[in-house]
Amino acid sequence: VAMQRIKIFGIILRIYRVLTPPQRKKALLNAALILGNAFLEVFSLAAVLPFVALVLDSSVIRANPYLNRAFLFFGFGSENQFMIAAVLLLLLLFILKNGIGVFIHYYQSRFAYDVSTELSGQAFGEYYAREYARITDTNSSLPTRDIIFIPTEFSIYVLLAAITLLSECFIFLLICAGIAFYDPRVFLLLTVVLSPALFLLYRLKKGKLERIGKQSEELKPLSIKYLFQGIYAYIDAKLYAKERYFQQRFSSLQRELNRSFALFNTLNAIPARLLETIALLGMVAIVLYGLAVSDNRQEIILLLGVFGAATYRVMPSINRILIALVNVKTFKYTLDILEESRRTSSHASPENLHPAAALRLEKFIALHNVSFSYSDNPSFRLNKVNFMLKKGETVGLIGKSGSGKTTIINIMLRFLKEQSGEILLDGRPLKPGDTAAWRSLIGYVKQAPFILDGSIKENVAFGEAPGGIDAERLALALEQAGLDDWVAGLPRGVETQIGEQGTKLSGGQRQRIAIARALYRRSEILIFDEATSELDRETEREIVSAIESLSGQKKTIFIVAHRITTLKPCQRIYELKEGEIAGFYQYADLREREFEGGK
């Protein structure tokens, strides 16, 4: 038990370290409220005992100097009037005590849920602060768990439970001290009766709580993963009649997870049942004790009253202490995850530390001797890649799958960092602190653009609050992307809902939405990453035509493609082979090679 106390105090210290300084101040205020509430609880309990004595023997009013002085001062006409006033005063005290208790409980709960909200926000921010390589190596179910579930479970089952534990321990110790002072016999009886019960509960739960927590930690991300897979595999699952496969994988994990929580809830219900039985045994012991050592029935009744008043408050307190211990031990893994998250995010990404002033493209962008390799794929390497984009030019990059096109784009977007070489902006190397300013110059249109489950307006003005969307910029972006006529023909115009991932759009319309998004940002540099690879030839020609019109507006455009026809607007096209620039061509040269049976 002593080791358990040490562990609990260690957990409380860890909880304190996880909290931010403002949260710690609120936690200390909670502790102060808890202490005040504990004294109020003890005082209200102590007030019951004189009342019991008063009911059993009204002559106490005259015999006790304090009660007699109150009787005379307020001018009561009889002892019954005095007792009625005492009852009303006791009732008022308990109403006040319970009202204050409800307020403190609300304050504690609001504090815990506010912490949950802040931790969720921090976890979301930490997700965006991660390096791209770490994002690609992490299953999406883990961030979902860490952002939504871990903060809530920590706040309710660890933080709030720890606050409850401290509160009830204060109350329990004060009540025990008061009982020991008032009647050592009742205190001794409580100790003898409760100690075996508490030891039994400890032995019953030992080991089971950590196992439940471990199962939750392991199974919850898997359950989320299989749910996501089943949702996003809708078409394939229906087409190949594999709905049951996804349902069964998800359901089997949920069944195992929920059974562990059924055991958790059962363990939480045991203390109340057991303590109720123990309280009855205590009363039986008092009666037997009184009959054995005394013939004074009034003394037995008074002893029962004292024991009843004590158990009325002590038993629920012990029950809440045990439940809090169960919660803290079961969900301690959430604290482990939060601490690990703090350790991994303690070093901020360089791009967020010292943001540079705004950048401008005046002359050219160049990759100079850029090299890069993946630690888990030593067979691939970008080797001293060099090419240039002059301001207002449209330049292309072509190459087979696996040649390094995507790696070059990720380096240009600063999701990957070149291991040697540099990116030059007007001859000046980009620094780590330039990342945010550099990205503000770029509009990126990828093979499968992300489409919000929202309106056309929300998708084009990506991330803008509805009230902050510039209508003129929106209209211009739609016009430049060739969407203005289509949008004008829609009943709700730019307010038209286009479905999750653009399910209500054609492939060409999704690409044009992505182009309009880049143009709404007034991007100086446009990067097209296999933007037509999933489109039919007719739609590809429409997108290429849109790109040509953009190049006429002096936009600097970089097109990465494996279809030669997509590169028609380019003034110069680089060919990438096995991580190296193999040469550069004009569009007509590559078309001639294609017709001759080459690329």
pLDDT digits (tens, 9 = 90+) for 165-177: 887 888 778 777 8
Spell out a b/e string for 221-249, using b for 16 or more CB atoms within 10 Å of the CB, else e. Answer: bbbbbbbeebeebeeebeeeeeeeebeeb
Q: Beta strand 556-561 with 525-529: parallel, antiparallel or unpaired? A: parallel
Residue 278 has pLDDT above 80, yes or no: no
Residue 2 has pLDDT above 50, yes or no: no
Write the DSSP string, 220-261.
Answer: HHHHHHHHHHHHHTHHHHHHTT-HHHHHHHHHHHHHHHHHHH
Instruction: Give how far the C-alpha of residue 78 lies from the chain's centroid of Cα atoms, to the nearest Å.
Output: 64
Structure confidence at residue 451 (pLDDT): 86
Band of the pLDDT at 296, cuts 50, 70, 90?
A: low
Find the range with the poorest average confidence among 18-27, 201-210, 277-286, 386-395.
201-210
Find the range with the poorest average confidence among 36-45, 48-57, 85-94, 286-295.
286-295
Backbone angles phi, psi at 381, to 5 degrees: -155, 130
Structure confidence at residue 198 (pLDDT): 67
Band of the pLDDT at 289, cuts 50, 70, 90?
A: low
56 contacts 302 by C-beta, under 8 angstroms = yes
Of the chain, the percentage scoring pLDDT greater than 70 comes to 86
**Per-residue pLDDT averaged across 82-96, rounded?**
85
More confident residue, 230 or 303: 230
**Per-residue pLDDT averaged across 125-145, rounded?**
80
Write the DSSP string, 170-183.
Answer: HHHHHHHHHHHHH-
178-216: pLDDT as tens digits: 777 777 776 777 677 667 766 766 666 656 766 777 777
Q: To which residue do tokens 């096109």 refer?
A: 405
10-19, 235-244, 416-425, 526-535 — most confident range: 416-425
Of the chain, the percentage scoring pLDDT greater than 90 comes to 15
Structure confidence at residue 337 (pLDDT): 87
Residue 225 has pLDDT above 60, yes or no: yes
Structure confidence at residue 597 (pLDDT): 44
Residue 425 has pLDDT above 90, yes or no: yes
Instruction: Give how far the C-alpha of residue 38 lies from the chain's centroid of Cα atoms, to the nearest Å.
Output: 33
Band of the pLDDT at 302, cuts 50, 70, 90?
A: low
CA proximity to 500, closest of 458, 447, 470: 458
Q: How far is the C-alpha of 120 from the C-alpha of 596, rounded, in Å?
A: 58
Residue 370 has pLDDT above 90, yes or no: yes
**Per-residue pLDDT averaged across 72-89, rounded?**
82
**Per-residue pLDDT averaged across 265-281, rounded?**
72
**Per-residue pLDDT averaged across 83-106, rounded?**
87
**Is the pTM of the predicted complex or chain greater than 0.95?**
no
Band of the pLDDT at 149, cuts 50, 70, 90?
A: confident
Band of the pLDDT at 298, cuts 50, 70, 90?
A: low
Structure confidence at residue 389 (pLDDT): 92
